[in-house]
Amino acid sequence: MGTVDVPEATVARLPQYLRALAALADAGLRTVSSEALAEAVGVGSAKLRKDLSHLGSYGTRGVGYDVAGLHRQIADRLGQTTPWNVVIVGIGNLGHALAGYGGFASRGFRVVGLFDDGTQVVGEVVNGLRVRPLADLGAVVRPGEPTIGVLAVPVEHAQGVCDRLVAAGVTSVLNFAPTVLRVPADVDVRKVDLASELQILAFHAQRRAVRSSVPAPTATVGERIGEVV
């Protein structure tokens, strides 16, 4: 119990639990049941207990979980006890917005560098940071302290810029460019694909539309109809 493998699906939910616990603590709650915490996060209580069991046991039977204790425990696991440095590369529309996004700082992330090679934007000050040319990456990314690189460049530059991030010592990358990045095995890449999200919503919407209009008229007695929704 402890450092052993936490399933990926569980890891992805830890930030949600953490946020809900912070809200409960703010509300003055000392203790919370798996039922109540699960409800706040929108999952089932069994799933929540299973998830927490992967971190070790921090609940008390008959009572529930200590809000502050569980919060500390999860924050610890997410590495939130020490601040993480973040550099943002590509200060266009999206990079600008990310540079000013308040949600990062409040979760223990420090944006320590903004980079772009566009002659327009280099030198501009965004949210208190001057935009620097990519050549300066090495001056900001210190091999000692872990740094997360956020890629917000146009898709055609993504791989090249990613290579430079990796060369500078970045081993965690959040990629907003809609492309598959090739990286060494020790580099972790996550992708946020905004257009994809809309396409997935569109798929579901179209499926709902088709299912609510087509099946009824075309079905004949005795035919089997696929389950609706």
Specify the amino acid at residue 150.
V
If binding is defined by CB under 7 A, does position 196 make contact with DNA? Answer: no
Decide whether 30 or 203 has the Cβ nearer to a copy of itself.
Answer: 203
Please give the C-alpha separations between residue 93 and each of 70, 71, 98, 124, 207, in angstroms, as whole numbers: 38, 35, 9, 14, 33
CB of 94 to a copy of itself, least distance (A): 5
Decide whether 49 or 191 has the Cβ nearer to a copy of itself.
Answer: 191
> How many residues bind to DNA according to rule CB under 7 A?
26
Nearest to 118 by CA among 150, 151, 84, 153: 153
Decide whether 61 or 125 has the Cβ nearer to a copy of itself.
Answer: 125
List the x/- string, 34-63, binding to DNA by CB under 7 A.
xx-------xxxxx-xx-xx---xxxxxxx
List the x/- string, 146-165, binding to a copy of itself by CB under 8 A.
x-x-----------------
Scan for tokens 């990286």, then name that residue. Answer: 183
Asked if residues 175 and 158 have their Cβ atoms less than 8 Å apart, the reply is yes
Each residue of 46-76: b (16+ CB within 10 Å) or e? eebbebbeebeeebeeeebbbbeebbebbbe
- How far apart are the C-alpha atoms of 157 and 151, rounded to whole Å? 10
The partner in contact with residue 80, picked from DNA, a copy of itself, none with C-beta cut-offs of 5 to 8 angstroms by kind, is a copy of itself
If binding is defined by CB under 7 A, does position 7 make contact with DNA? Answer: yes
List the x/- string, 17-56, binding to a copy of itself by CB under 8 A.
-xx--------------------xxx--------------
